[in-house]
Amino acid sequence: MIKFIENEPFSPIQYTYEVDNILFKGRSSYQEILVLETPDFGKVLVLDNIVQLTQRDEFFYHEMLVHIAMHTHPCPKKIVVIGGGDGGAVREVLKHESVEKVYLAELDKQVIEVSKNLLKFVSQSLDNPKVEIHIGDGSEFIKGVKDIDVVIVDSTDAIGFARSLYSYDFFLHVKKALKDDGLFVTHSESLCFHRDVTIEIQETLKKVFSIVDLYSVPIATYPGNWWTFSIASMKYDPRKPQKAPVTGVRFYDSEVHKWCFLPKTLYQRIMNKELKW
């Protein structure tokens, strides 16, 4: 039995996976790419020795990344997904019948190719005619689009080389790309291990958007487990879904939408740095 030890440089712990087979190992222009077959988690996508998704629990992450914003907007039609070359976020977006166009901006073309070949459980929607794939820097792509209803960032860690996707300038360009009632969402690290990063992302978003909030979900795959998502809007309160849940989801529903947000008193204590651990 092969063992894979994750090397997450921003985490104080390391996960070890038992591996039945290495399905793919290669290096793109940007990163090392691994696809592992494991007995407990199914297929696992690893970028630069950091696990990005597992077949067993990826739906928790992708559903929660996508459906809070997509249900907060009453009729999302044009969507931008930045990162997410594996296809999981696009898969969830296309569960909304109102969607007419999805722009996927992925920096690393090889992630898409590997996912299409080996990770069909997430990549199944990448060939949908509603999807338009752009290979390149998402922070540049966003400058060239407009009248977008929802922008979703599905990047690698905010504390890694995807840092530009969490900057004040990037958030400004997102706001310009969105319609007046558009929404933005991104993952924002673990409150357990990266609380200060989460707070910084929230504070930066508040300089650009009038409505900013934080929600979370437990995800076993990611170190720290208590994984957060930052959502921003100029009109709609993300705590109040505007429509019934779409079909075909496994975890998300109306009750999950309500309880995933931090209680407002707890949120303020964290933001004010009154609660520390």
Q: Is 40 known as a binding-site position?
A: no
Q: Is 137 known as a binding-site position?
A: yes
Q: Is 62 known as a binding-site position?
A: yes
Q: What is the largest CA-CA distance in the chain?
A: 54
- Parallel/antiparallel/unpaired status of strands 131-135 and 148-154: unpaired
d(CA 142, CA 149): 13
Length of the chain: 277
Q: Is 55 known as a binding-site position?
A: no
Own/partner contacts of 145-148, CB < 8 Å, gap of 24 or more, are: 145/80, 145/103, 145/177, 146/176, 146/177, 147/78, 147/179, 148/78, 148/79, 148/80, 148/103, 148/177, 148/178, 148/179, 148/182
Q: Is 190 known as a binding-site position?
A: no
Alpha-carbon torsion (78, 82, 83, 88), positive or negative: negative
The verdict on whether 253 is a catalytic residue reads: no
Q: At what angle do helices 195-206 and 264-271 cross, to 10 degrees?
A: 100
Q: Is 138 known as a binding-site position?
A: yes
Q: Is 57 known as a binding-site position?
A: no
Q: Is 156 known as a binding-site position?
A: yes
* Two structure tokens written together for 62: 């992708």
Vertex 73 angle, CA 197 and 130, to 5°: 95
Catalytic residue among 40, 57, 147, 154: 154
d(CA 125, CA 139): 23
Alpha-carbon torsion (230, 41, 48, 92), positive or negative: negative
Q: Is 86 known as a binding-site position?
A: yes
Q: Is 31 known as a binding-site position?
A: yes
Q: Which residues fall in the annotated binding site for S-methyl-5'-thioadenosine?
A: 31, 106, 137-138
Q: Which residues fall in the annotated binding site for spermidine?
A: 62, 86, 154-157
Active site residues: 154
